[in-house]
């Protein structure tokens, strides 16, 4: 496998991972912040440009490969997970990153997405969730909240949206994180952890579309409300949040509960301590499904557990079978047993006419 640099001696500065192509996202689009975070993560990890492959489907976020000075492949709608799996199987030394939107990933690409998660392919999947189809001008997507008025639901959607975290965990996902596009530092930190994880890492980015779904996450990300509406998870630390850091999450029976420290004798010892590495995903499910206004939105790495890795297991299986085989190559197999040669100008195996 390739060598990783160190934060003290990065191979490239973040901006040196950018290509010479003009970036053509809308001014104010959250995609700029995501790209900034990815470049910071690559620099901190010390990645070589030639060891990274960025795969995308169709959508605004899928322009990502053009803007990065690495290998890249702009595929078709809904297929980046399938193509990325093939890329990883063909060259396990490549660090494969998938960039795809909520429509690309969870609608036409939903089947590929859940099976990539289930297989636990060693790659990173950055899911840009703006709860809308931006490139095709504002139709509702699989993550659009029920009742939202859009170009394709003028009277409000009558569908319940997917919860990305619950979908990942339901498909036996081993790594799931959620980050807002307004916090580049947190995004970069999570993406570093995603790359270090062995297996499929899914990072959901709450990304703002300034044209067709502006301020959809404003209650979560605005300066006035984010402290009370975001729970930044850190492995091994109590779940505290709030403008005064005086609120927390505790487990009461089989449900989570928001409490205030100092009230009714509540202390930090009563709070849940985050365990991202726990084999059971029960608490991870509870964290992933927390919703406003009753709960803050869980941010950071929610789940990060080890498990069998698809491409590693497949490579080991192939190597074992090759060592046991009596044939050194396909040519040896094809030329084994009873064979014959057709001579030019003849129509019988023995050369007669």
Instruction: Write down the pLDDT at residue 353.
Output: 56
List 180's β-bridge partners, or say none. Answer: 206
Three-state DSSP class for residue 205? strand
Instruction: Write down the pLDDT at residue 221.
Output: 97
Give the integer Cα–Cα distance in Å for 179 and 82.
24
Q: Which two tokens stand for residue 86?
A: 């093939």
Radius of gyration of the chain (CA): 24
Q: Which two tokens stand for residue 49?
A: 């440009």
Phi, psi values for residue 149, rounded to 5°: -85, 125
Instruction: Write down the pLDDT at residue 5.
Output: 46
Is 12:43 a contact under the CB 8 Å cutoff? yes
Give the integer Cα–Cα distance in Å for 39 and 207.
17
- On the question of a cis peptide bond just before residue 337, with omega within 30 degrees of 0, the verdict is no
Please classify residue 62 by burial: count the beta carbons closer than 10 Å to its beta carbon, then call 0-12 exposed, 13-18 middle and 19+ buried. buried
Using CA of residue 14, residue 16, residue 17, residue 20, what is the dihedral sign?
positive
Instruction: Write down the pLDDT at residue 3.
Output: 42
CA angle (111 as vertex; 195, 182 as ends), nearest 5: 45
Q: Which two tokens stand for residue 259?
A: 């409490």
Give the integer Cα–Cα distance in Å for 49 and 70.
5
pTM score, two decimals?
0.91
Instruction: Write down the pLDDT at residue 142.
Output: 96
CATH topology of domain 14-311: Rossmann fold (3.40.50)
Element (H, E) at 307: none
Please classify residue 149 by burial: count the beta carbons closer than 10 Å to its beta carbon, then call 0-12 exposed, 13-18 middle and 19+ buried. exposed
Range 90-95, long-range pairs (CB < 8 A, 24+ positions): 91/53, 92/1, 92/122, 92/311, 92/312, 92/315, 93/1, 93/2, 93/51, 94/51, 94/52, 94/53, 95/2, 95/47, 95/51, 95/52, 95/53, 95/123, 95/124, 95/195
Please classify residue 304 by burial: count the beta carbons closer than 10 Å to its beta carbon, then call 0-12 exposed, 13-18 middle and 19+ buried. buried
pLDDT by residue, tens only, the chain of 353 residues = 344 444 557 899 999 999 999 999 999 999 999 999 999 999 999 999 999 999 999 999 999 999 999 999 999 999 999 999 999 999 999 999 999 999 999 999 999 999 999 999 999 999 999 999 999 999 999 999 999 999 999 999 999 999 999 999 999 999 999 999 999 999 999 999 999 999 999 999 999 999 999 999 999 999 999 999 999 999 999 999 999 999 999 999 999 999 999 999 999 999 999 999 999 999 999 999 999 999 999 999 999 999 999 999 999 999 999 899 999 888 898 888 887 777 777 666 665 55
């Amino acid at each position: 496998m390739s060598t990783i640099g160190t934060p003290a001696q990065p191979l490239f500065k973040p901006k040196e991972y950018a290509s010479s192509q003009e970036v053509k996202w809308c001014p104010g689009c959250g995609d700029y912040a995501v790209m900034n975070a990815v470049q910071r993560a690559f620099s901190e990890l010390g990645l070589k440009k030639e060891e990274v492959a960025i795969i995308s489907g169709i959508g605004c976020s899928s322009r990502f490969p053009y803007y990065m000075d690495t290998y890249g492949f702009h595929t078709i709608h809904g297929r980046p997970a399938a193509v990325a799996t093939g890329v990883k199987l063909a060259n396990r030394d490549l660090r494969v990153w998938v960039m795809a939107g909520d429509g690309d990933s969870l609608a036409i690409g939903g089947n590929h997405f859940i099976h990539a998660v289930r297989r636990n392919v060693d790659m990173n999947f950055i899911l840009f969730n703006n709860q809308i189809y931006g490139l095709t001008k504002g139709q509702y997507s699989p993550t659009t909240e029920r009742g939202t008025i859009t170009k394709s639901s003028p009277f409000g959607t009558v569908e319940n949206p997917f919860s990305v975290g619950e979908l990942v965990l339901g498909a036996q996902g081993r790594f799931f994180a959620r980050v807002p596009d307004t916090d580049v530092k947190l995004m970069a930190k999570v993406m570093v952890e995603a790359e270090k994880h062995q297996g499929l890492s899914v990072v959901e980015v709450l990304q703002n579309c300034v044209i067709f779904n502006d301020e959809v996450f404003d209650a979560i990300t605005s300066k006035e409300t984010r402290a009370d509406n975001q729970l930044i998870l850190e492995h091994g630390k109590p779940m505290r949040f709030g403008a005064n850091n005086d609120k927390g999450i505790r487990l009461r029976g089989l449900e989570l509960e928001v409490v205030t420290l100092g009230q009714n004798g509540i202390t930090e010892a009563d709070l849940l301590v985050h365990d991202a590495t726990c084999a059971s995903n029960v608490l991870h499910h509870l964290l992933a499904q927390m919703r406003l206004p009753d709960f803050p939105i869980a941010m950071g790495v929610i789940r990060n557990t080890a498990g069998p890795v698809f491409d590693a297991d497949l490579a080991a299986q192939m190597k074992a079978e090759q060592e046991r085989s009596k044939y050194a190559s396909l040519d040896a197999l094809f030329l084994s047993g009873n064979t014959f040669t057709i001579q030019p100008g003849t129509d019988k195996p023995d050369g007669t006419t």
